[in-house]
Structure 1
């Protein structure tokens, strides 16, 4: 590739960063929530703590401090409105009662912070850990006083401390009877961040740190199979969401044997031409390839020093952007189960496009590669 070609390539990759930035800013709700997708019928009008936390982290890394903080403000306000429900969960746990899943916190909220009134696969814990992690990353990156979010951090910590070991739905709203390793990782990262933010009293901060250690120990003791992370405790499958535990969450040392084994398994079992599938048995929209997972894979490779592979994965994600300039949830070039595609299109129409989380992970990897507007790859 000539110098001219390299410059053109950088400009094209940078242009997608700016497309993503513009879309996220345009779609952010006045109250701070990021909609998962402005057009997809099943996501429109809803915000997830998990998706939103990764979006806020990307915007923070890009220098959009106000956008990220508006999201954290939305998280805080939403959690404070749920204080009564959280108190009930904590009281029942103290009495030895397991709160039914339908009375735990929901995974998604309307853009004004209310629980959705449509049935959903709702009990998930990962997002509550992920927002704490993103908040600490933001404060470390930009400074400022995190005490404005103190009450919400306390509520989240108290909630996770009594529920972290419970089975729940995973990132993909599936398999609610299992304890998922990616969920444990998100909780561990979040509680560790809460313990370091400097807004909790010493006792609660210590409990957060101890529980983060316990969750990490559980991952290493029971969450590893055949030398790599497993999809859930007791499973032998691998899942693309596990990449987040390597980077950017940094739950595991990215050079460790388990991290190396996980990267190898994802590359071997789930990756085709740079596109990463969620897991081998995935039938959702036929089991396509997700740009956001390619970017998580890129972040993990970059954390290990492999800039060339990280850049390849960024380019693959860039290639999924449509002619209208949107980045989808998934693409159908290498469907795992093509016979299952029609049922989902009948149910919800074409798969989500755009997905703000896809753009966010592209931005996050581009920032790490120093490929923001006016910048160059390393």
Structure 2
């Protein structure tokens, strides 16, 4: 099984696929990010794959086609050079802001020989529904049909392939200048067959579609421009365009520790990440995408009464119930069991989400215009909830399942909810509520400054009454609770650098042993350092963590501090969001701004 860092992301703004550097598609969830997979060798050898590679020995290099999510892999053999181009097809003719609104759900793979002669081997082992289904494979006039369960697949190619039980195989020799194209079409059993794509034309159209989007989203001209540009493309690929939801990651159950049990399904949209997401989309010059993301959040949350559970995460279509279950038939990535589908964190009570949604409205305030009555009612209700519930315990931003506490970051984001609501009061038609919200905000601020500070540690800690540091506290100056050069903030940053940071990689909290470093925490540290006036150190941290990305510039959720390997679900939207925001903070700091 390949290393997590060995994979490239393919996206069509509906679903996602991962292809390894040796030409094997080991993960594909067509139609929706959280749909059952067609290929899942990423999680078990029996999960299905589609490999295309030279028959003999080879070395590889790869890159994204500039401005796209199409990947080119070059195989160098003793007899020649083979280039493989992989992409998920976009809708025909989609350009600019409109890419990804429709998708034919087709995986396109083109091979071409650049020099010499190369023998190519193809193997397609589709295993729908996370490997539970071995399809019936039949040669038909239009190609090869793979039928099983709720999935219908049609494989077309320029070369005759062989049906071997539930496998499709092929071996052929190409010489310099020759090429072949394969296209695997997916539909559900309930859908009528559609016209099959011309693979060559669809690949050209897809490349042009991505490049047209990239051309109009290059407003950022600061330091680390190419890293920001690639991260913006990743965020677009992880956007479920039918609704505007930004998905946390395209994978499930890639472990936080190889062989461990912290294996979660991240194929959903987290409201908690919302304000960081919107800020990143603004920096990357994606205002339309930012507005659609806010609209999705507001519409999906709906109304909130005193008894309602405010969701922390939603399905790509806005679904609430994401009940978790275990796929016992899969061994997991390198034996990391269990493999989970769904995420029971949806049931958790996290007070920070109140501030996250309100901060989104604050970021977009100049574009919101007159809020709809429903949106204004929702935001007022969230502020009321923050005023009433901030003294209560919750599960915290790290979604631990060991019980609720008085987490400082949750209190901090309740303060954000109240602060932004007061500033937005005219837009919310809530001027009469300002005195009550202001009283609650001042009480909350006093509690954070007194109970959130540990005199024994000399820093703000992760929970009231705790002596454990928590990297989440780094957002305190980022959201404007205290200035970045406040002596208490500086002391907290120094303590975190001393106890949680190694080689620029930041663990979440003290006492976590060999737990991996969370990438977003390193980027929060970068922002906090800029706000503290330590821009040179911020650059050092930024470059150390960004250097851990794979050869395509992709980042996972975590980095193993023992060997520097990427771990956790991959690629992780929040990591790329952190990169964009940290780069912008450095740009602001070097330009003399405050980076906030």
Q: TM-score, normalised by structure 2?
A: 0.52
Give deviations 1:48-97, integer Å, cap 9, x for gaps: 111132111211233211111111111110221xx2xx3242xxxxxxxx
Q: 1:291 aligns with which of 505, 513, 519?
A: 519
Q: 2:321 aligns with which of 116, 133, 137?
A: 116
Aligned position for 2:530: 302
Q: 2:422 aligns with which of 183, 195, 201?
A: 195
Closer/same/farther in 2, CA of residues 62 and 124 from structure 1, 3 Å limit:
same
SS of 2:245's partner is coil
The runs of 5 or more residues in structure 2 that have no matched partner are: 1-220, 254-263, 325-343
Aligned position for 2:216: none
Which structure's relative contact order is higher, taking Cα pairs within 8 Å and 6+ residues apart?
A: 1
Is structure 2 residue 397 aligned with structure 1 residue 167?
A: no
Offset at residue 181 of structure 1 (A) = 0.5
Aligned position for 1:351: 568
Is the contact between residue 222 and residue 583 of structure 2 (CA under 8 Å) also seen in structure 1? no
SS of 1:326's partner is coil
Structure of larger gyration radius: 2
Q: Distance in 2 between the 1:239 and 1:208 partners?
A: 28
Offset at residue 34 of structure 1 (A) = 1.0
Offset at residue 268 of structure 1 (A) = 0.3
Closer/same/farther in 2, CA of residues 316 and 127 from structure 1, 3 Å limit:
farther
Is structure 2 residue 582 aligned with structure 1 residue 365?
A: yes
Give deviations 1:198-254, integer Å, cap 9, x for gaps: 32311223333332222211100111002310110110111000000121x111222
Q: 1:263 aligns with which of 476, 483, 493?
A: 493
Superposed, which structure 2 residues align to 1:131-280 within 5 Å? 131-139=357-365, 142-145=366-369, 147-148=371-372, 149-174=375-400, 175-197=402-424, 198-200=426-428, 201-226=430-455, 227-247=458-478, 249-280=479-510
Offset at residue 377 of structure 1 (A) = 11
SS of 1:199's partner is helix
SS of 1:147's partner is coil
Q: TM-score, normalised by structure 1?
A: 0.81
SS of 2:533's partner is coil
Is the contact between residue 369 and residue 377 of structure 1 (CA under 8 Å) also seen in structure 2? no
Q: Distance in 2 between the 1:43 and 1:11 partners?
A: 34
Q: Distance in 2 between the 1:28 and 1:213 partners?
A: 38
Q: Distance in 2 between the 1:129 and 1:182 partners?
A: 10
Is the contact between residue 62 and residue 367 of structure 1 (CA under 8 Å) also seen in structure 2? no
Aligned position for 2:546: 318
Aligned position for 1:14: 225
Superposed, which structure 2 residues align to 1:27-106 within 5 Å? 27-30=238-241, 31-41=243-253, 42-80=264-302, 83=303, 86-89=304-307, 104-106=309-311
The runs of 5 or more residues in structure 1 that have no matched partner are: 1-9, 90-102, 336-340, 342-348
Is the contact between residue 327 and residue 353 of structure 1 (CA under 8 Å) also seen in structure 2? yes
Q: Distance in 1 between the 2:570 and 2:229 partners?
A: 17
Closer/same/farther in 2, CA of residues 154 and 12 from structure 1, 3 Å limit:
closer
Q: Distance in 2 between the 1:146 and 1:303 partners?
A: 33
Q: Aligned-residue CA RMSD in angstroms?
A: 2.6
Is the contact between residue 269 and residue 313 of structure 2 (CA under 8 Å) also seen in structure 1? yes
Give deviations 1:10-69, integer Å, cap 9, x for gaps: 999322211110111122122121111112343343111111321112112332111111
Offset at residue 138 of structure 1 (A) = 3.2
SS of 1:327's partner is coil
